[in-house]
Amino acid sequence: MSGAVRTCRRPPTGRPYDGRHRRPRAEALRAGCACGWRGAAEYPLDWDAIGDQPLDEADVDLTGPLADWNAHISLVRDKAAPPPEPLAALLVEIAEQLTATAVDAPLAALPVGVLERIADRIGREAAGALSDADVSAEEVAAGLGTTYTKALVLLLAAQDG
């Protein structure tokens, strides 16, 4: 999941507004997540203290929105179906080795894009198995701790792959 902190005012384009380009400026921050969740609490911005700095460069206290987002992510993790422990441990080990290789020998780490192709293939197989078992998008959403729409997109994207 991505996200964390968003501003509360949106321009006509629908994109999050960051307070740049003068008025209107965002009045507050709140947490947000790529799954569509938005935090209820708003954290006011002090534009007198921020001045003309771009919001992402200002010394703004993000403690509240980040705490809200972390709480949301914890709930999502608790609901999500975890991978089997041996697989989870293997994925952690692979990530650590790839990170070290990217630092020590970036050229050697570049070809690991094959992992994306493997993941795509496995995703298609998993989506096919779920479809064959008549597992609904609602059940997938509950199992992954996400929304119906996100689950449906995952299933359809994997099947189209």
**Under a CB-based contact definition with an 8 Å cutoff, are residues 28 and 7 in contact?**
yes
Domain chopping of the chain, boundaries: 3-79, 85-160
Q: How many Cα neighbours within 13 Å face the side chain of 52?
A: 1
What does the pLDDT read at residue 145?
79
What does the pLDDT read at residue 141?
87
Chain-centre distance for alpha carbon 100: 23
What does the pLDDT read at residue 19?
56
* b/e sequence 74-109, b meaning 16+ C-beta within 10 Å: eebeeeeeeeeeeeeeeeeeeeeeeeeeeeeeeeeb
Mean pLDDT by 10 residues, the chain (161 residues): 47 54 78 84 90 81 89 79 87 90 88 84 88 90 83 77 55
What does the pLDDT read at residue 41?
94
